[in-house]
Amino acid sequence: MEHDDEALRRYLDGRLGEGYLDTRLERELPGGEPVFDAATWAFHPENLPIARAGLRMALRVGGLYRRGQRNARTLEVRHHDLALPGLSDAMSGFRLLQISDLHVDVDPDFGHVLAEQLRDLSWDACVITGDFRYRTNGDFTPALRGFEHISRVLHGPVYAILGNHDSIRMVPSLEALGARVLVNEGIHLRGIGHGGGGVWLAGVDDPHFYRQHDIRRALADRPDGLPALLLAHSPEPYREAASAGVDAMLCGHTHGGQIRLPGGVPLVTNADCPREFTSGAWRWQGLQGYTSVGAGSSVLDVRYNCPAEVVLHRLVPRSPVE
């Protein structure tokens, strides 16, 4: 592993701040797959086989399991207008496909199932807002294998961020599959025809568990006047984003609860933020946000009253009075 980490260090050389990689690797849970991480008080029920088995058994007895699996394997395509101040004409109408929380290793053929449903969609650029992986530790090759199926149908540029289930050791392989991972970094996203203007697309490391997100660093090279669009795995740093001057923020992580009561009330959302920020469009001061309920599922491969989704955001200019 030490040898591999040296290769990782060389690969990421110059992209991350001083000491960043050492801290990230230290925080990645060592060996085993703890159910409770005392350092962060984080609970990982996905690492407790008996809890998953018990829940699965209860759903089977209740006759709900297969229906939940069908729900989890059927993507809905949501359409959303993302209004940005100062958007150039060349970027107006730009279509950004957001895919979140793939957890693609939840099932060996899940990547293939999702790829088939994405194949006929069209978009100009794709963003993946974290949690490629289902497990929070250990072997990530099943997640990469699943993502490989999906990467084959992702045309155009693909930008991604890491979630709390993802290892930074996955970055070289994800980038080899065509997804440029933004680790507290930003890029100038240009419009159709490469006209003037564009959008500063910033992406931060996971703010939920690893908490190594650095929004100001991701915005540091933003040219004056360019709208700032932030990718952050969880909506939790919304205040930081607003005070750093971010115009819009795309996130995931919450799964919208994944299992909701009839009427759409989530049982848990696993995010320290107002509940209205945990799914769909929201607003905080001058910051426009969208939290995707995700394409995948966690703990169990089921969903109830909370369909899996991908989101087609259409960039539109925001008027100064909005």
Spatial CB neighbours of 181, under 8 Å, sequence gap ≥ 6: 159, 160, 161, 162, 171, 174, 175, 203
What is the dihedral sign for C-alpha 280, 270, 310, 251? positive
Of 222 and 253, which has the nearer Cβ to Fe ion? 253
**Separation CA 62–CA 314 (nearest Å):** 41
Q: Which amino acid is at 191?
A: G
Of 47 and 88, which has the nearer Cβ to Fe ion? 47
Of 131 and 236, which has the nearer Cβ to Fe ion? 131
Which of 313, 298, 309, 300 lies closest to 74 in space, CA to CA? 309
CB of 163 to Fe ion, least distance (A): 4
- Calculate ∠ Cα 115-184-190, nearest 5°: 65
Interacting residue ranges for Fe ion, rule: CB under 5 A:
131, 163-164, 253
Pairing of strands 308-318, 287-291: unpaired
Of 107 and 131, which has the nearer Cβ to Fe ion? 131
DSSP state of 154: -
CB of 271 to Fe ion, least distance (A): 9
Of 142 and 163, which has the nearer Cβ to Fe ion? 163
**Separation CA 247–CA 289 (nearest Å):** 9
The residue of the chain with the least Cβ separation from Fe ion equals 253
| Residue 172, both tokens | 């070289």
CB of 305 to Fe ion, least distance (A): 20
CB of 188 to Fe ion, least distance (A): 28
Q: Which amino acid is at 216?
A: R
Of 101 and 247, which has the nearer Cβ to Fe ion? 101
CB of 15 to Fe ion, least distance (A): 23
Of 191 and 203, which has the nearer Cβ to Fe ion? 203
- Burial category of 183 from C-beta neighbours within 10 Å (exposed 0-12, middle 13-18, buried 19 and up): buried
